[in-house]
Amino acid sequence: MIRVNVMHPRLLIGLAGTFFIFAFLVSGGVSVAQTGFNPCAATPANPCAAQPKAMNVNPCAASPKTMAVNPCAARAAEDGIKTSLFTRPRGTALATGDQAKLIKEGERLFRDKSLSTNNYSCNACHAQFGLFNDTFASPYPHKVVMAEDNGMKQINLDEMVQLCLLGPMESKPLAWNSRKLAALTAYTAEIQKGFMAQNKAAMSPRSGNNPCAGR
């Protein structure tokens, strides 16, 4: 008698099933991404996909609602901040003192998270000229979108400091004649000088970025 080796029925069924799935995918019945077998697909199951939690989220970036809340977004209008809270009262003058000392103190305050209620500092959004619009290169007072959203067509630098405290930093304005406000304003003015110089250099003929230069 001749003995024929026959595979176990379960093994045969498994092989047949694998072959059927492979043939179905190759035929174009279902895309590879839909099956979840594509290791490069941005699917919830893919550990290599760019997921918000896995990213180094920039708190100052314009991010969707699914990502970390952006504390530096222009939220003045939606928060309903009263213009009177960041408008310098008529006749009020900033505190004065040694300018170099005010700038040095302002630099410290610019990084001070205790000025906010959300653990952010001015520097969190504005490090290395971050998030400054082109208008920052213009002398104050000038137009700023965040202020304009609250009905103020032009804003002074000290008023802008107060608005940032109220909006992005979710805090309270400083006393108008306080040394802290004078120091923050003085240091921000120094940052503005650097921003102006950078913009001027970028637009010079030597930089190659001058759109008005002869081509």
pLDDT one digit per residue (tens) for the chain, 215 residues = 545 455 555 544 555 555 544 444 444 444 434 434 444 444 444 444 444 433 344 445 444 333 344 555 544 444 578 999 999 999 999 999 999 999 999 999 999 999 999 999 999 999 999 999 999 999 999 999 999 987 899 999 999 999 999 999 999 999 999 999 999 999 999 999 999 999 888 876 665 555 554 44
In-domain check, residue 47: no
User: What distance in Å separates the CA atoms of residue 133 and residue 154, rounded to the nearest whole number?
Assistant: 14
Position 46 in a domain: no
In a domain, 113, yes or no: yes
Position 51 scores a pLDDT of: 40
Q: Is residue 97 part of a domain?
A: yes
Contact 25, 35 (CB under 8 A): yes
Q: Count CB neighbours of 83 within 10 A.
A: 14
Q: Could you tell me if residue 121 is inside a domain?
A: yes
Residue 32 maps to a domain: no
Give the CATH number, domain containing residue 184.
1.10.760.10
Residue 51 falls inside a structural domain:
no
Separation CA 100–CA 107 (nearest Å) = 11
Amino acid at site 82: K
Q: What is the dihedral of CA 100, 104, 106, 107, to 10 degrees?
A: 140
Q: Please check whether residue 87 lies inside any domain of the structure.
A: yes
Half-sphere CA count of 150, side-chain side, radius 13 A: 25
DSSP string of the chain?
--------HHHHHHHHHHHHHHHHHHTTSS-HHHHT--TTS--TT-TTS--GGGS---TTS---TTS---TTS--HHHHT--HHHHSPPTT-------HHHHHHHHHHHHT-GGGSSSS--HHHHHGGGTT--GGGGSPSSB--HHHHTTT-SSB-HHHHHHHHHHTTT---PPPTT-HHHHHHHHHHHHHHHHHHHHHHHHTSGGGT--TTS--
Backbone angles phi, psi at 84, to 5 degrees: -65, -25
In the chain, the number of structural domains is 1
pTM exceeds 0.75: no
* Segments forming the whole domain that contains residue 126: 76-205
